[in-house]
Structure 1
């Protein structure tokens, strides 16, 4: 009894050639587009888990499209011609005009069929099935009793159960197992089959279609591994971002509003500050701001920025800010303090570059002593106009050894507004802004009464800006 689905059995009807040609053309164009995306993802981001996952998906899509192209090619060619006795021609001797042989490893060359006759013990295998099992046709097909012998021990119970369910209970077969070929290679096969009943409803034979899905499963495993890698990477990024934010929040002063320094007496500074994140929330950097009353009654004002992002930058920022506070409390002048910070950054385990600004204000004299290390100068607003203070010499922290940082003094008057900021505040993605944008706020600063109002003005102006980096701004208003 012929099986209802046998790989060598011709279909009764075939679609028109023009329709099949159109499908083949669309498939090949789509395959070219996917392959272009795959090549592009292979050129860049070799170490990026997300790009590796995208490339694996493209590889899997190319396998499917190549297989589809082979199927459509066979559909266009039609069934193989048969001789007068009904036998199919040898596949290695194609006639004139016959389609090209399937590419190595293609899906077309990886599908075979078999039928096991329970009444006569005959076994029929298609040509493809011999190639799948790596078995010479002269050795003959494997019987149902012999078939488990080419499976690894862990897969044999599965095959036995599927065959038993099919022959005894009439259940269809649908499962996968591995085959150990004579050449030592292991292939993954997907087997689908059904019992064939005789006129009395008894099982007379069993037919099955076996498909070599080794390449498909390998591609799926690659996609799964790269997808898991992306998920792990995203989890690590989220965890590091959370830790960086927590570290930053723990180090930066948690001011709810303005801060009066010192808290008692005339001429105190009204201080407020704000941290502005970059357009990408993942870029938590090493920006800092700080203000504190020193033991001698003077006030420390500082802002700075270290290169890098994430936990390395925020941990280095915490180290630098802690050292800066300690040296300021010890009475070290701003210029010398910058030199010590430079040595500290040079000797750190993770070398980095940084810019910093350190100011010390004496309310008794109104003198602001300050030094800078490759940092934007403070902006002084007085009488409705603003100007940057002439900067003393100072290179970036960590850029050179044995550097001397100069120090400048400037007298501040009651009502003056001093703005300290990191360069990410005014540096936008379109490069159209700069310190001039801050100086343009002078008329609005003149109308404010507190440092917090000045900070609010800055945030209104720059808070929605698409900055390339995060930024800090600290504003001090000199009291009467």
Structure 2
């Protein structure tokens, strides 16, 4: 019997490419897919040419088996390259029972294929049922970790080299081949003498004698351990990514529900106080981030106070998700309680600073807190590292000069100043968080990013008949802007 040299060689590796001339990632994957398809077609053509072979010629049988195996591996490679191009692979990369068995036995030990090789070595074997002669190629002996002195395994001995979970599979494949003449095509895991494991892909057929009886069985085996390890890594990474996505979506739903439960429920315009002359016309809006997935710790609020004055506030805390929204809930609740108790804006900021600075989950925040007296039309206000309110009067707008105040939670015992501003009939006051606009601004005028655009809405504010119309103008201007952070805007219109 001629030696099975055609099967005793490592699989060829793709040529390396010059990094300087390499295409982009997508283009490179497309090129690999194209080359794989062409190679698959060439190998399939060779396979079709070897269908009609001399069954008595072992060399021709090995060649046909190798072609079949190569087509199978190229199909596998093409599918994986397609998944790489599309991004996230499908959920079921492997049968569940095979994946579970792999998880129980642990990761396979790398074979001698070379680092990162997706395909392994190939060996061949034949078992003569008439003479009990067994012939293995040298490469197959090395794949099984056997020496030439130890020799090959008979069909009866072969299952003993497999993991117990895979022995029934091999027994069924061999039985179907010898009894029913079915070709062999399957994978199983072997245990090497040193305890390591490898995954082999086996293809083979029975060889019939002149009377049509099975005289022998031949097979070609490829070490696909590295390929299966890569597939398992992809599957595990995919599962981890899916779990992270599910957790992120659940956290976002909780954060959004918490935000909606805490922020004022009113929509459209609000009049405060509800009774009496000089009621403020108020409207507000929340603008999500570009992705819509980041729920931050921003807030806006307006409420009547027991002494007849009105609380107006806008603020934002660092971070996103449940932690930020829960901290916002704490801050907004404390702010409302202190405002109802009659604490002035500057002192209120000091208490909020202490609350954040000593919190179990410390955070930084910025805020504006205003208290408006409808009888005198005087606005008392303080700020903590926050964009100053914008005052629109007689068709023009300007930032209100801010009193001193650092970020909440930045320094213990920080003092905050308080200023007063007399508002006139027809004035429009805009309070907002700094995530509203990011269009560059005018640094020479000392404006924050986006203020030029916002101040440019002054003519529309002058023509507006309600605070809600002013908010609508802001949303039309900034609603389509790509924002990395969410934003809140509160518009207050002084009645004429």
Identify the TM-score tier after normalising by the shorter chain. Answer: 0.7 to 0.9
Return the alpha-carbon distance in structure 1 between the equivalents of residues 224 and 328 of structure 2: 54
2:83 paired residue number: none
1:458 equivalent in alignment to 2:474: yes
For residue 15 of structure 2, the aligned residue among 28, 33, 43 is: 28
Question: Residue 287 of structure 2 is aligned with which of 276, 287, 293?
Answer: 276
Q: Distance in 1 between matches of 2:119 and 2:421?
A: 84
Whether the 8 Å contact between 2:441 and 2:450 is mirrored in structure 1 is no
SS at 1:457 equivalent: helix
The alignment status of 1:406 with 2:420, answered yes or no, reads: no
Could you tell me which runs of 5 or more consecutive residues in structure 2 were left unpaired when the two chains were aligned.
47-58, 60-111, 444-448
Q: 1:252 aligns with which of 263, 287, 303?
A: 263
**Aligned residue among 139, 144, 148 for 1:133:** 144
Distance (Å, rounded) in 2 between the aligned partners of 1:137 and 1:424: 73
Match of 1:311 among 322, 327, 332: 322
CA contact (8 A) 2:119 2:224 kept: no
Match of 1:186 in 2: 197
- TM-score (normalizing by structure 1): 0.79
Aligned position for 2:364: 353
Consecutive unaligned residues in structure 1, runs of 5 or more: 11-23, 39-53, 76-86, 88-101
Aligned to 1:144: 155
* Aligned with 1:124 (options 135, 153, 159): 135
TM-score computed with the length of structure 2 as normaliser:
0.77
Question: For structure 1, which segment, 262-271 or 168-177, has the greater mean C-alpha deviation from structure 2 after superposition?
Answer: 168-177
Contact 1:301 1:360 in 2 (8 A): yes
* Offset at residue 32 of structure 1 (A): 6.5
Contact 2:120–2:224 (8 Å) recurs in 1: no
- Taking a change above 3 Å as real, the CA distance of residues 430 and 214 of structure 1, as seen in their structure-2 partners, is farther
In the alignment, the residues of structure 1 paired with residue 459 and residue 313 of structure 2 have an alpha-carbon distance, to the nearest angstrom, of 25
CA–CA distance in 2 between the matches of 1:287 and 1:34? 48
Q: Determine if the alignment matches structure 1 residue 158 to structure 2 residue 145.
A: no
Q: Are 1:176 and 2:176 an aligned pair?
A: no
| Equivalence map 1:21-420=2 (5 Å) | 27-29=14-16, 104=114, 110-420=121-431
Please report how far the alpha carbon of residue 9 of structure 1 lies from its aligned counterpart in structure 2 after TM superposition. 5.1
Aligned partner of 1:14 in structure 2 is: none
Partner of 1:137, secondary structure, is: coil
Q: Who is 2:69 aligned against?
A: none
2: CA distance, partners of 1:134 / 1:32: 38
Residues of 1 paired with 2:153 and 2:140: CA distance?
10
Structure 1 residue 313: Cα displacement: 1.3
Q: Secondary structure at the residue paired with 2:15?
A: helix
Q: By how many angstroms is 1:31 displaced?
A: 9.6
SS in 2 for 1:424: coil
User: Secondary structure at the residue paired with 1:425?
Assistant: coil
Hey, what does 1:8 align to over in structure 2? 5
Q: Among 450, 469, 473, which residue is 2:485 paired with?
A: 469
Q: For the structure 1 residues 367 and 107, does the alpha-carbon distance in structure 2 shift closer, same or farther, using more than 3 Å as the test?
A: closer
Aligned-pair CA distance for 1:437: 2.2
| Paired residues of 1:244 and 1:314 also in contact (CA < 8 A) | yes
Q: What is the rounded CA distance, in whole Å, between the counterparts of 1:157 and 1:279 in structure 2?
A: 55
Three-state SS of the structure 2 residue aligned to 1:234 is helix
How far residue 368 of structure 1 moved from its aligned partner, in angstroms, is 0.7
Conserved in 1, the CA contact under 8 Å of 2:379 and 2:422?
yes
Distance (Å, rounded) in 1 between the aligned partners of 2:431 and 2:453: 14
Contact 1:454/1:475, CA 8 A, preserved across alignment: yes
Contact 2:118 2:230 in 1 (8 A): no
| Post-superposition offset of 1:429 | 7.8
2:120 and 2:226 in contact (8 A); partners too: no
How far did 1:259 drift?
A: 0.2
The corresponding residue for 1:440 is 456
Q: Distance in 1 between matches of 2:360 and 2:134?
A: 72
Moved more, 180-189 or 258-267: 180-189
Q: Which runs of 4+ in 1 moved over 6 A?
A: 31-38, 429-432
Deviation at 1:107, TM superposition (A): 7.5
C-alpha contact (below 8 Å) 2:120/2:225 kept by paired residues: no
Offset from partner CA, 1:281-336 (integer Å, 9 cap, x none): 12221111000011111100000011111221111111111111111111111111
Shift in CA distance, 338/449, structure 1 to aligned 2, threshold 3 Å = same
